[in-house]
Structure 1
Amino acid sequence: MKKDIKIIGSGFSSLSAACYLAKQGHTVTIYEKNQTIGGRARQLKRDGFTFDIGPTWYWMPDVFERFFADFDKKPSDYYELKKLSPAYQVYFGINEFVTISDNLEEIANTFESIEKGSSVALKKFMAVAKSNYDIAIKDLVYRPGVSPLELITLETAKKINKFFGTISKDVKSKFKNKKLIQILEFPVLFLGAKPSDTPSFYSFMNYADFGMGTWHPKNGMYSVILALEKLALELGVKINTNSNIDKISVYNGKAEGLVVNGKIVQADLILSGADYHHTETLLDQKYRMYSEKYWESKTFAPSSLLFYVGFDKKVKNVEHHSLFFDVDFDIHAEAIYDDPKWPEEPLFYASFPSKTDLNCAPEGKEAGIFLIPIAPGIEDTPEIREKYFEIIMTRFENLTGQDLKNNVIFKESFCVKDFIKDYNSYKGNAYGLANTLFQTAFLRPKLKSNKVKNLYFTGQLTVPGPGVPPALISGKLVAELIKKNKSY
């Protein structure tokens, strides 16, 4: 039966869900509090420069292909993709870096040049990672997290030990060189937890990295948001920006509408792709599934201090994606997860999209994005931001052998306070709820409210978890759950 569905937020998961629900025949309307759509994946344009505010990595292209195929489309109908070669670079010291190629054979050769015998170990490790990927991404993550039985299959039964080991232990048992260990531990940071707290099964992220490569959509990740918007509009979805949600209206235990900018909007069903914790604050206390104590007890993915910088010249000695691991990874991780505070010597990541995409900066200039992962909820002031910009730019100059501070045309920053203000993000986290063993699948917050009829959730705090591909999948899962439940 055709129903009137209202969706809160316009990030990847909301847009994905909107497309699936519209395809089912429902009337779908999205409400976005900000001026532009995209949620965390919005775009910044300034003085001829273009930056992705949020995600900058395009991994798991098969997930995007599977999404568009559900609508008899393909990514190339909407945007142009380029595989990055090399994929990225990792700096460990002054002029001391490892370049990660766009194919496993060359990566294995690079490993072998650093640690004798590691090419063979890598190929064995990657064979397991691919097997895990085939099970996880082609099957398990497309399950709604309703029951623990979803995880029990013939294939997962063979890998039960992979849920109790950790990425860190696995990697360190096979490789001795610290650089190689850090490179292999890096991809799971996208899952929002320390490698020592991430189950071995998540090595499928290494296959996403080395096996499938790193891609760049022309004009940036925002091109994918625009693709989803176009598809949604083609399917009849209505999208309203500058539309703040004040309250979810509930009557006799049933969601009946939204209060948008002070006005009541009726609905047969409500779906929120906004921050899960924030969404529940839009309900009266008795209708909330999860207490403040519950959220306090959870392991959240990091927040970030981000800088969007316009340089008046081209930046040398870096790739499109560059990681700076020249300081102690474990000490920085402790400052995020164990003793939340600003790290004294932060690891950081830099992206220069104009290396690949000439549309991202004026000719002869460079667009730079710098990211420091930090603990959510820590102090955020202009003085702290400026201090850390100075820290990472000094290191960046030293490591890459160039002067750049005097070539900054402008810089804009984004940190904890902005994540809270723009996205109502719990403690200003950037990536959602970490994928630790006890925060996986059915152990994550549910897609469907058990206290309010016709209220559903999607996004990075529910299943399957953090990241752009999981967000697309989350939208599909909730749409299928709505269709299956027919609770309206």
Structure 2
Amino acid sequence: MKKKIAVIGSGFSGLSAAAYCAKAGHEVHIFEKNSSIGGRARSFSSHGYTFDMGPSWYWMPDIIEGFFADFGKQTSDYYQLVPLNPQFEMVFSDSNLSVPENYEEMKQLFEDLERGAGNRLDDFMKDAQYKYEIGMREFVTKPCHSWLEFVSPKIAKSALRLDLLSNFHQFVRQYFSHPKLITLMEFPVIFLGAAPKDIPALYSLMNYGGYKLGTWYPMGGFAKVINAMAEIAKDLGVKIHFNAPVGQITAEKKEATGILVNGELLTFDTIIASSDYHHTEQDLLQENQRNYNEKYWKKKTFAPSCLIFYLGVSQKIPGLNHHTLFFENDLSLHTSEIYEDKKWPTKPLFYLCCPSKTDPSTAPENCENLFLLMPIATGISDSEEMREKYFLEMISRIEKHTGIKDLRSKIEYQRSYCIDDFIRDYNAYEGNAYGLANTLSQTAVLKPSIKNKKLNNLLYTGQLTVPGPGVPPSLISGKIAAAEVEKL
């Protein structure tokens, strides 16, 4: 039966859910509180520069391609995807490490640093590929209402090899001992929301989905991906409403009946909330309609927030790659200050993206587009003074790495973005940037439910529910939510 469906939020999961629901024949409306599409993947332009506001790592290209294939399309119908070589560079205190696109060259890099590590990388990637193929095609596609969903011959047969009960920290050290190789292999799980010691070894699949399948860039930026998804949705009849914050979800008995948008009550048969899960429950629902109370959320482990700077630089900067990781300091110290001590870091690591190295359209001629990101704890105090302190430190380290003197004087555009902005723009719980951590105690059925248990026709999607944070998981989350609509 054709339903009238409201989707709250136009990020990756919201657009995905809307497109799949429209494909199934439903009337779908997306309500976006901001003036542009994309949620955390919005973009903006100023002074001739175009900045992606959020995602910048294009990993797991097959999962993204799979979304387009579901609608009879290809990514190449909408944007050009180019491989990055090197994939990225890691800056250490005593030397730098460039990760090549070519896997055989990557093996040689490992072997050069640690005897026998090249062959062990083969073993690691063989195991990671198995986890990727089972995990991304079987494990993460479940709605996770019950553990019984995982009782299948394929998953049962794979259970031990998926390493759900061992941690990533120990797993990496079974293969490698060189500190730089350990850091290189642990880096991909940082944004899953916990220290490597608290992440299941299952997530070595991230290494395969990144290093082995390659690091890519969509020419024009991630906005091209968002715009392509929006075009698919609109071609299927989806209506997108901007500057349309949802103030309340209305309900009668056990059914959601509609939403209040800018003071106007709109009726719907089904609601999918791609908005922040905590905000949706605590601010849009009555207390007796919520799955979880405030105490529940306080106990949860969240992925980091971050301090971001968008910079336009009036000259070319030699010695920079598209992606650069500044890891001169201790990874374990920074992660402990994010997840355990929950304070501003004493010796931070940070990430720099320079898309203008690949894509001239992102900056004026002979200029550079820089995106700086430093992971930080959620819920800590945000201030201009703290932003400026870390900005100066990051600029100093970039100057040292590139040999550029007085880089700050060459910045002609600067904008910062941090905890208070995530809260204002996305209603993000404690200013989180990446959702709920993928710890063992927050995996699968142990994540917040994709379905409201009090209102039969209210569903959730996005990085605070299954399968978790990241662009590919968000696409999958939207598909799961749309499939649940068909069960109502």
Q: Same fold by TM (over 0.5)? A: yes
Aligned counterpart, 1:293? 295
Say which is worse superposed, 172-181 or 154-163, in terms of deviation: 154-163
Q: Deviations over 1:203-238 (max 9, x none)?
A: 000101221001100110110000011111100000
Supply the AA of the counterpart residue of 2:450.
L
Matched, 1:333 2:343: no
Separation of aligned partners in 2, 1:367 and 1:62: 28
Q: Deviations over 1:92-138 (max 9, x none)?
A: 026x1110011221111011111111101111111100010010112
* One-letter amino acid of the structure 1 residue matched with residue 96 of structure 2: F
2:314 maps to 312
Aligned 8 A contact 2:319 2:401 in 1: no
Task: Give secondary structure in 2 for the equivalent of 1:411.
Answer: strand
- Counterpart residue number, 2:68: 68
Q: Does 1:132 align with 2:131?
A: yes
Q: Look up the match of 1:115.
A: 114
Distance 1:102 1:152 in 2: 38
Residue 176 of structure 2: aligned partner: 175
Shift of 1:316: 1.7
What is the SS of the residue equivalent to 1:223? helix
Residue in 2 that maps onto 1:362: 364
TM-score w.r.t. length of structure 2: 0.98
Deviation of 1:402 after TM superposition, in Å, equals 2.1
Give the Å deviation of 1:334: 1.0
SS where residue 414 of structure 2 aligns? strand
The amino acid that maps onto 1:142 is T
Residue 86 of structure 2 corresponds to: 86
Match of 1:479 in 2: 482
**What is the letter of the counterpart of residue 179 of structure 2?**
K
Q: Does 1:455 align with 2:458?
A: yes
1:442 and 1:164 mapped to 2: Cα distance?
Answer: 15
Counterpart CA distance in 1 for 2:244 and 2:211 is: 41
Assess if the C-alpha contact under 8 Å between 1:22 and 1:237 holds in 2.
Answer: yes
Does the CA contact (< 8 Å) of 2:35 and 2:243 recur in 1? Answer: yes
CA distance in 2, matches of 1:452, 1:170: 42
Letter in 1 for 2:427: N
Give the C-alpha shift of residue 87 in structure 1.
Answer: 0.7
Distance 1:153 1:185, change over 3 A: farther
Unaligned runs of 5+ in 2: none
The corresponding residue for 1:420 is 423
**1:322 is the counterpart of 2:332:** no
2:467 alignment partner, one of 464, 467, 470: 464
Out of 397, 402, 420, which is 1:400 matched to? 402
SS at match of 1:182: helix
- In 2, Cα distance between the equivalents of 1:181 and 1:279? 39
Q: CA deviation at 1:155?
A: 4.3
* Contact 1:103–1:210 (Cα < 8 Å) also in 2: no
Q: Deviations over 1:377-416 (max 9, x none)?
A: 1010011101110011111211332222221112100000
Match of 2:246 in 1: 245
What is the alpha-carbon distance in structure 2 between the residues aligned to residue 19 and residue 2 of structure 1? 15
Q: How does 1:187-198 map to 2 (within 5 A)?
A: 187-198=188-199
Structure 1 CA distance for aligned equivalents of residues 8 and 359 of structure 2: 32
Aligned with residue 348 of structure 1, among 344, 347, 350? 350
Would the alpha carbon gap of residues 313 and 374 (structure 1) be closer, same or farther in structure 2, given more than 3 Å must change? same
**Secondary structure of the corresponding residue to residue 93 of structure 1:** coil
Letter in 2 for 1:203: S
Aligned residue number for residue 218 of structure 1 = 219
- 2:438 is the counterpart of 1:439: no
Aligned equivalents of 1:112, 1:46: Cα separation in 2: 45
Alpha-carbon distance between aligned partners in 2 of 1:235 and 1:354, rounded to the nearest angstrom? 34
- Cα separation, 2, equivalents of 1:155 and 1:124: 22
CA RMSD of aligned residues (A): 1.1
Distance in 1 (CA, whole Å) between partners of 2:432 and 2:390 is 18
Write out per-residue CA displacement over residues 142-194 of structure 1, whole angstroms, 9 at most, x where no aligned residue.
11111112334444444436111111101122211110000000111231221
Q: 2:151, 2:124 → 1: CA distance?
A: 23
Where 1:174 maps in the other structure, the secondary structure is: coil
Q: Which amino acid aligns with 1:297?
A: K
Code of the residue aligned with 1:167 in structure 2: it is F
1:56 matched to 2:56? The reply is yes
Query: What is the identity, as a one-letter code, of the residue corresponding to 2:5?
Result: I
Q: Share of identical aligned residues, percent?
A: 49
Aligned pairs (5 A) from 1:139-288: 139-157=138-156, 158-160=158-160, 162-281=163-282, 282-288=284-290
For the 8 Å contact 2:31–2:242, the answer to whether it is kept is: yes
Matched position secondary structure for 1:134: helix
The amino acid that maps onto 2:4 is: D
For 1:129 and 1:103, the matched residues in 2 are separated by 18
- More deviation in 140-149 or 117-126? 140-149
Q: Using the alignment, how far apart are the partners of 1:352 and 1:81 within structure 2? A: 16
- Code of the aligned partner of 2:428: S
Deviations 1:261-296 (A, max 9, x none): 111011111111000000012001111110111101
Q: For the residues of structure 2 that align with 1:156 and 1:453, how far apart are their CA atoms?
A: 29
| In 1, Cα distance between equivalents of 2:164 and 2:271 | 34
Q: Which amino acid aligns with 1:33?
A: K
* Distance in structure 1 (CA, Å) of the matches to 2:170 and 2:319: 33
CA contact (8 A) 1:140 1:150 kept: no
Distance (Å, rounded) in 2 between the aligned partners of 1:426 and 1:322: 29
Tell me, yes or no, if the aligned pair for 1:163 and 1:200 is still in contact at 8 Å: yes
Aligned partner letter, 1:14:
G
Give the AA of the match of 2:49.
F
